[in-house]
């Protein structure tokens, strides 16, 4: 890594000179710089970046030989939600945020899910109640809009956006959630007018249904056929259509959990034409393949998610997209349904058809180590790209920057101290979620966060994670200015980003 001499920066004095904490001897990495300096923290904020802070701090953390990175932001995860069929996630805001902290993530953005016929504001308020007093690290919300009726379009959604709920997700598949093209156009037009960001789950519903019926009629019902039914063609067609609708409406759009090279081609084609198209991928698409759904009989259900893991060539395409900046965000899409029990993968029994297996895989705690090991240590991306993908770009796109997503004077002291040479074999018993499995069981990664700090407080250290429920803050107020400025006026932090 390239080092440079750091300029000495100080915050305006606001109290005693003594710092609450200093992280000393480490290498500080942001999305644009790698520097050798100490980090001084007071009242939950970074207040000074310079060397020699040991004697100025009430508490000193030695980080010699370690990397000091911004705490991760997982901008796409699901906690304490109910599936359209009534199955509930294993993780609530307590277990989920503990798991996040254990993997170096200090901010999460899950979803308040509107059910058809339910007021959108009621969905948001109900989700607030489920989160209140539970989170260990900070959090914000996206909304899921499944019923964009006149009340939602004309009153509720504009009001919620102006209050700071500035991003919302729609689905192009699933009977209980999918919207028509006309409904998407209405929402894209609104998001353009209100300077919000629409997130799209892009899969062609009718294509999936047609393939599912054909497979089942031929007796092909095992978990591995989920990957056949959810064809990469269905994803790329829907991606093209979502981008086209956004272009008609003059809106920006975020394509979430991109899994295939074909979908990435549509995204890059639009970006080259200057359209404001953002995109995200996830660990399961870089580490798992469709072959995992074909393992050990029904245990392939552990890897069922939508879109599904695909082929090796799709993995290679996505790695290239990360390096080129075509994919700006790396999220977990943590959807924690247990394997055993009445609310998970086996809810209908262990012989149920693939289309009745609940969709989703866990990944909050393993997201960052997998990308660090396979990406940074594997020579596919560098440290600055790692920080941009996992912290800075999510903060910018979702209105949390510069409070979150970087290490800078005045930013929250959300920091993960990494041992880049620590080899860890992933097993579920070392993780902190409420699941009964991890899809990455037995995989070895090089590099793991050994200390996680949230607003100046240690919340994870050497595998021990805080049990201080309720210390996490809801970040609504900080999203309001970000929605108006940083997302569209500020550039994303990637020197290879075609949108700069």
Widest distance between CA atoms in the chain: 74
Q: How confident is the model at residue 13 (pLDDT cuts 50, 70, 90)?
A: very low
- In this predicted structure, the answer to whether residue 11 has a pLDDT above a threshold of 50 is no
E strand or H helix that includes residue 450: strand 444-454
- In this predicted structure, the answer to whether residue 7 has a pLDDT above a threshold of 60 is no
- pLDDT score, position 492: 57
Contacts of 256 (CB under 8 A, 6+ apart): 76, 169, 199, 200, 201, 202, 279, 280, 331, 333
CATH code for position 392: 3.20.20.140
- pLDDT score, position 170: 98
Domain of 142, in residue numbers: 72-402
Per the domain annotation, does 220 fall within a domain?
yes
Q: How confident is the model at residue 40 (pLDDT cuts 50, 70, 90)?
A: very high
- In this predicted structure, the answer to whether residue 483 has a pLDDT above a threshold of 70 is no
- In this predicted structure, the answer to whether residue 63 has a pLDDT above a threshold of 60 is yes
Per the domain annotation, does 95 fall within a domain?
yes
Tell me the C-alpha distance between 463 and 85, whole Å: 35
- pLDDT score, position 295: 86
Per the domain annotation, does 474 fall within a domain?
no
Tell me the C-alpha distance between 146 and 232, whole Å: 24
> Which pLDDT tens digit goes with each residue over 197-207?
999 999 999 99
Q: How many domains does the chain have?
A: 1
Per the domain annotation, does 421 fall within a domain?
no
SS3 of residue 64 by DSSP: coil
445: β partners = 424
> Which pLDDT tens digit goes with each residue over 405-419?
999 999 999 999 999
- In this predicted structure, the answer to whether residue 315 has a pLDDT above a threshold of 70 is yes
- In this predicted structure, the answer to whether residue 487 has a pLDDT above a threshold of 90 is no
Q: Which tokens in the block code for residue 187?
A: 């929402």
User: For 417, phi and psi rounded to 5 degrees?
Assistant: -95, 120
Q: How confident is the model at residue 187 (pLDDT cuts 50, 70, 90)?
A: very high
Contacts of 316 (CB under 8 A, 6+ apart): 261
Q: Cβ distance 433 to 365 under 8 Å?
A: yes
> Which pLDDT tens digit goes with each residue over 246-264?
999 999 999 999 999 999 9
pTM above 0.95, yes or no: no
Q: Which tokens in the block code for residue 496?
A: 């290879």
Mean pLDDT along residues 230-248: 98
Q: Please report, rounded to a whole number, the percentage of residues in the chain having pLDDT higher than 70.
A: 92
- Strand ranges (DSSP E) for 194-332? 197-201, 253-255, 277-281, 329-330
E strand or H helix that includes residue 106: strand 105-108
Alpha helices in 273-359 (DSSP H): 283-287, 312-324
Tell me the C-alpha distance between 17 and 22, whole Å: 13
- pLDDT score, position 481: 35
Contacts of 351 (CB under 8 A, 6+ apart): 298
Per the domain annotation, does 29 fall within a domain?
no
> Which pLDDT tens digit goes with each residue over 319-352?
999 999 999 999 999 999 999 989 899 998 989 9
- In this predicted structure, the answer to whether residue 491 has a pLDDT above a threshold of 60 is no
Q: How confident is the model at residue 476 (pLDDT cuts 50, 70, 90)?
A: confident
Per the domain annotation, does 66 fall within a domain?
no
- pLDDT score, position 489: 37
SS3 of residue 423 by DSSP: strand
Contacts of 381 (CB under 8 A, 6+ apart): 319, 322, 323, 371, 375, 389
Per the domain annotation, does 419 fall within a domain?
no
Select from 243, 358, 369, 235 the least CA-distant residue to 301.
Answer: 358
- pLDDT score, position 9: 35
- In this predicted structure, the answer to whether residue 107 has a pLDDT above a threshold of 60 is yes
- In this predicted structure, the answer to whether residue 5 has a pLDDT above a threshold of 50 is no
Per the domain annotation, does 352 fall within a domain?
yes
């Amino acid at each position: 890594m390239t080092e440079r001499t750091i300029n000495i920066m100080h915050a305006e004095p606001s109290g005693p000179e003594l710092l609450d904490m200093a992280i000393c001897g480490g290498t500080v990495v942001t999305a644009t710089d790698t520097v050798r300096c100490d980090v001084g923290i007071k009242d939950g904020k970074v207040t000074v970046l310079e060397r020699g802070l040991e004697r100025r701090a009430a508490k000193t953390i030695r980080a010699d030989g370690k990397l000091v990175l911004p705490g991760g932001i997982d901008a796409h995860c699901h906690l304490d939600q109910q599936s359209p069929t009534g199955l509930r996630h294993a993780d609530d805001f307590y277990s989920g945020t503990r798991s996040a902290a254990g993997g170096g993530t200090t901010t999460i953005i899950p979803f308040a899910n509107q059910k058809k016929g339910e007021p959108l504001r009621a969905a948001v308020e109900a989700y607030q109640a489920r989160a209140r007093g539970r989170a260990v690290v900070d959090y914000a919300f996206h909304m899921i809009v499944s019923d964009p009726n006149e009340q939602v379009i004309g009153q509720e959604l504009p009001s919620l956006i102006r209050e700071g709920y500035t991003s919302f997700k729609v689905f192009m598949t699933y009977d209980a959630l999918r919207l028509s093209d006309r409904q998407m156009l209405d929402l894209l037009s609104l998001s353009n007018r209100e300077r919000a960001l629409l997130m799209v789950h892009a899969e062609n519903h009718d294509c999936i249904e047609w393939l599912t019926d054909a497979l089942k009629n031929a007796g092909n019902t095992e978990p591995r056929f989920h990957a056949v039914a959810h064809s990469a063609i269905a994803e790329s067609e829907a991606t093209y259509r979502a981008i086209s609708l956004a272009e008609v409406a003059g809106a920006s759009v975020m394509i979430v959990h991109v899994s295939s090279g074909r979908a990435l081609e549509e995204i890059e084609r639009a970006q080259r034409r200057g359209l404001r198209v953002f995109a995200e991928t996830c660990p399961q698409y870089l580490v798992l393949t469709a072959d995992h759904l074909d393992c050990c009989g029904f245990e392939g259900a552990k890897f069922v998610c939508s879109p599904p893991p695909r082929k090796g060539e799709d993995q290679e395409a996505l790695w290239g997209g990360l390096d080129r900046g075509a994919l700006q965000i790396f999220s977990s899409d943590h959807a924690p349904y247990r394997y055993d029990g009445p609310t998970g993968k086996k809810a209908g029994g262990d012989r149920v058809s693939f289309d009745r297996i609940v969709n989703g895989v866990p990944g909050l705690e393993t997201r960052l180590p997998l990308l660090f090991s396979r990406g940074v240590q594997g020579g596919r991306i560098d440290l600055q790209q790692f920080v941009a993908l996992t912290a800075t770009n999510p903060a910018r796109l979702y209105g949390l920057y510069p409070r979150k997503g970087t290490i800078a004077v005045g930013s929250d002291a959300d920091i993960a101290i990494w041992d880049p040479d620590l080899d860890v074999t992933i097993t579920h018993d070392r993780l902190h979620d409420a699941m009964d499995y991890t899809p990455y069981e037995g995989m070895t990664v090089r590099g793991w966060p050994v200390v996680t700090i949230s607003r100046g407080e240690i919340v994870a250290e050497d595998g021990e994670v805080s049990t201080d429920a309720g210390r996490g803050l809801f970040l609504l107020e900080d999203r309001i200015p970000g929605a108006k400025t940083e997302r569209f006026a500020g550039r994303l932090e990637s020197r290879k980003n075609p949108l700069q």
